[in-house]
A = this chain, B = another copy of it.
Amino acid sequence: MAMNGRKSALVVLLCFNWVIGIVVARGIEDYWSKRANLIHAEKKIAFGGDISLTKNEMLTNRTLMSAKLKEIQEGFSDPNKFFPRANFLTVKNKIEKSKVFQIIKKMPKGALLHAHDLGTVSHEFVLRNLTYRSDLYVCQSEGGLKLMFFKTPGKNCHWELLSELRNTPAKEIQINKRILEEMTMMTDNPAKAYPDGDAAWAKFQSLFSFLFPFITYKPVFEDYFNQLLQEIYDDKVLYLELRTVLPDIFDLSGRVYKSLEVMQILNSLSQKFVAEHPDFLGIKIIYAPMRHLNQNELKKHIENAELIKESFPEFLAGFDLVGHEEKGGTLREFAEQLQVLGQKMPFFFHAGETDWYGLSTDENLIDAVLLNAKRIGHGYALLKHPKVMEIVLEEKIAIEVNPISNQVLNLVDDLRNHPASILFAENYPVVVSSDDPGLWGAKALSYDFYEAFMGLMSGSSDLRALKKLAINSLLYSTMSDKEQSKAIQIFQKQWEDFLLDVAEMENKEFRLSNNSVD
């Protein structure tokens, strides 16, 4: 009996343990499946999660993701090796050596939707080409360096021929160094040079003051603009919407070309470029005067915008206001006039390019959506305005994110803190642009795609997210339906070439590594 009792007790105990074992095992199985579902659900709703890859795309994706993972792992072990956390000005050369960057360079990127007239061409071209033209004079005054084209220079400054100042190699190096300092934000120590946004903006605005006088010389302006198209074309961009103040340009005969004429020049150049490059779709213009103005000045710009629209109904995409948003006029002040203009052309307002929260600059986001902006430039503070976010989603207002610009202009330090991470996590209508790449040593669009892909998106975001960036840029452009379907056609062809290109790159690497083994 006692034995039997013990046996029964043992059996009961064994059974109990067995049942508990099953319950625990079930519990943990259940846990893993819930976990997998949650992760899957987040990937599904994330940017690019709605895209399926073809077999060829999967191969390219494997190459891309193994390079991405390697970079992340290196950066995890040594923070100095993770570039998006450092200021772009200090890691540009390192980024260029990244395999992910190499792949992104090859990738067709669709449209460049947020770029400014005198900030988009690489500094190398401006320095090495434009400043070597004849008739370019330099004046070194207390206010800094000035460059200007003259037939005969005026007496307002001590003008010297730049070519003469470069008449020895040593002098050439010296003056070029000074020119470079005046025309870009490049520095080894950005934290010291630009300790805050105000300091960064002061320098940034001085660059335009330096560039404007000599780039608005008509032959140079035309070459600058051609080079702009060439650089973005080489970077696999097929279409551009350019924000410009439409500056007066001049020639040496003293003739000044006003905005309507400048539009005509830009339009002709664009058409010529398209004729020579059938896989380029051309450009449209966003007329974008400086926002530091009063109601009367705005009134004149609006009248001008209306005039331009009449003459260039297709070529003019719409209207924006630019400049240091925190210190300039607000959309609220101008709402009454803008509301009327909004019936005649779309808006592409800069809004919320700020770290402040609850001040007039981030409130520009509210006015931007109430004024029915088609896209919003930067929208850095958007996340702090949940009701505006709802409208952005409903109305499909694209947010033009410019990662490097935001970092160089001191909105954010480590790009992993850029709020657009969250827009990507929730699949908001985002496009990535480059703002003024030439002013900080970048070029065209690839650098910003790299930073977005490595720094803003999840480690698991892959080729689908990059493809989505390109597709969004076409979708949220102001191209007509006809233009858009042509763009998609071109893009698809480029995309197939890109897949082959990456495969070829892999093969070459494989052959090289095999040869080196032999």
Given A24-B340, A358-B458, answer yes or no on A413-B416 (Cβ-Cβ < 8 Å): no
**A355 to chain B: closest residue by CB:** B416
Asked if A358 and B461 sit within 8 Å, CB to CB, the answer is yes
Given A355-B85, A356-B416, answer yes or no on A79-B387 (Cβ-Cβ < 8 Å): no
What number of A residues sit within 8 Å (CB to CB) of B?
58
Asked if A421 and B357 sit within 8 Å, CB to CB, the answer is yes
Complex partner residue of A422 from B80, B198, B384, B411, CB under 8 angstroms: B384
Given A422-B383, A422-B422, A459-B358, answer yes or no on A388-B38 (Cβ-Cβ < 8 Å): yes
A28 at the interface (CB under 8 A from B): yes
Asked if B335 and A28 sit within 8 Å, CB to CB, the answer is yes
Least Cβ distance of A343 to chain B in Å? 9
Asked if B79 and A421 sit within 8 Å, CB to CB, the answer is no
- Total identical chains: 2
Complex partner residue of A31 from B72, B335, B459, B461, CB under 8 angstroms: B335
Complex partner residue of A383 from B39, B80, B421, B457, CB under 8 angstroms: B421
Whole-angstrom distance between the alpha carbons of A384 and B418 in the complex?
Answer: 11
A198: which B residues are within 8 A, CB to CB?
79
Whole-angstrom distance between the alpha carbons of A457 and B34 in the complex?
Answer: 34
Q: Is the interface of A mostly helix, strand, loop or mixed?
A: helix
Whole-angstrom distance between the alpha carbons of A27 and B341 in the complex?
Answer: 13
**A84 to chain B: closest residue by CB:** B355
**A24 to chain B: closest residue by CB:** B340
Instruction: Please give me the 8 A-B residue pairs with the lowest Cβ-Cβ distance, nearest first.
Output: A358-B459, A358-B458, A79-B196, A355-B416, A413-B413, A358-B460, A383-B422, A417-B417
Q: List 24 A-B contacts (CB under 8 A).
A: A31-B335, A34-B370, A35-B332, A35-B335, A35-B367, A38-B366, A38-B370, A38-B388, A39-B363, A39-B366, A72-B359, A76-B326, A76-B356, A355-B416, A356-B416, A356-B459, A357-B416, A357-B457, A383-B421, A384-B421, A384-B422, A385-B425, A386-B425, A419-B419
